[in-house]
Amino acid sequence: MSLMDSPLYRDAVAQLEKSASIMGLDPNIMERLKYPKRALQVAVPIRLDDGTVKTFQGYRVQHNMTLGPGKGGIRFHPKVDLSETAGLAMLMTFKCALVGLPLGGAKGGISVDPTTLSRQELQGLTRRYTTEINMMVGPTIDVPAPDIGTDGQTMAWFMDTYSQLKGYTVPGVVTGKPITVGGSLGRAEATGKGVAFCVNFAAKKMGMKIGKSTTVAIHGFGKVAIPAAQDLRDQGAKIVAISDVSGAVYNKDGIDVAKAIEWTRSGKHLKDMDGIEKITNDQLLTLDVDILIPAAIDGVITKDNAPNVKAKMIAEGANGPLTKEAIEILSEKGAFIIPDILCNAGGVIVSYFEWVQGLQNFFWDLGQINSKLHDILRDAFDNVYEASQEYKVDMKKAAFIAAFRRLERAMRYRGLFPG
């Protein structure tokens, strides 16, 4: 597969070019940002439980490391490929720059369906992948984290394998680890909590107060959606709709979030819950609510259904849930869109905190972490909002402009080697 083959990579480049044109970004800087700095493709052979050997394709891409070490997740999914990984690494560069972290953009993954492998096979896969890419990662080089199909256990195996290769414990090589092996408090819920923070920042700009009259629909009910739902519910908002792979559920008086969490964590589908109306995921997206949070997968709001979306505020909890055409349509309708590289940046911010704590071997309490997360997101939100007002563009384009301002300054100061 060539670098430009995936829609995600092409979309990232298109957003780069559009925002760069609006702000007058140095064309030499834009040319460098179109391509990853480094990409590695590796074979990952493992012995399956039945004794046979199967080989999977793995990747690690570092897009731009002007601001610091690479930062980005490791994804285990059948659709992982080089081009998608490169596109995600590019977006991580922009996300880290936007929220002011001293980190660059990277991404990795293996083309595999992790649900088909046993725990032992997953451990073997993770350890072999770590071994194959170990020359590209490290606390001062590139720091992976969990993503789709991976979790804290995956990161613990990764850290242990890397440490075995080095001969000593290196907790700072990955983030998203379990607390007992150097993880950070607040990391698991950070992305969803960040979504809730951004919703509040946007509400203030819109003159809206989050309270009992506020209605919220959330597309998804996983690692991002659940903490966001909990925080907004605690402020008094009514979570009227949520969804999972089985479909969506609706209650105009508000869903019992605690019951829904317990239900899903027991392995049951939302459609089987009692006392709530069953609707489709498509119907959820077009409900007449104050706030819509697409927090599941990309591309769910398109030019086809965007005209029917009624929410006043749309918070992109997932990566790329709105297509370019949908953003244009909804912006013209007056919807306030909180862009993904800002809205879901809570995860990488607290990953940064974990990395810093690991380097220092000094850990913070949850109050410090949430306070610092709030302040970083508030400053980034204000920067994006100011850019949207200055350039008279939607928040999505403004987020890229704010990120490019920081990248442009840093890349100019560092220059081009060789000159």
3-state SS assignment for residue 80: coil
- Would residue 95 show up in a list of annotated catalytic residues for this protein? no
- Of the candidates 62, 63, 61, 69, the residue with the CA atom closest to the CA atom of residue 41: 61
User: Cα angle at 80 between 404 and 353, to 5 degrees?
Assistant: 50
Both tokens assigned to 80 = 């992982």
Cα–Cα distance measured from residue 372 to residue 385, given in angstroms and rounded to the nearest whole number: 20
Which candidate in 95, 107, 177, 238 is catalytic? Answer: 107
* Token pair for 251: 């209650």
Residue 132 tokens, joined: 């194959």
Q: How far apart are CA 29 and CA 66, in angstroms?
A: 12
In angstroms, rounded to a whole number, what is the distance separating the alpha carbons of residues 228 and 233? 8
Among the listed residues 6, 196, 192, 199, the one whose alpha carbon sits nearest the alpha carbon of residue 107: 6
- Which residues touch 301 (CB under 8 Å, ≥6 apart)? 285, 294, 309, 314, 321, 322, 323, 326, 330
Alpha carbons 114 and 56: distance in angstroms, whole number: 11
- Distances from the Cα of 383 to the Cαs of 26, 376, 380, in angstroms? 20, 11, 5
Q: Report CA Rg, the chain.
A: 21
Those residues whose C-beta lies under 8 Å from the C-beta of residue 265, and which sit 6 or more positions away, are none
Q: Quick count: other Cβ atoms within 10 Å of Cβ 139?
A: 16
- Residues annotated as part of the active site: 107
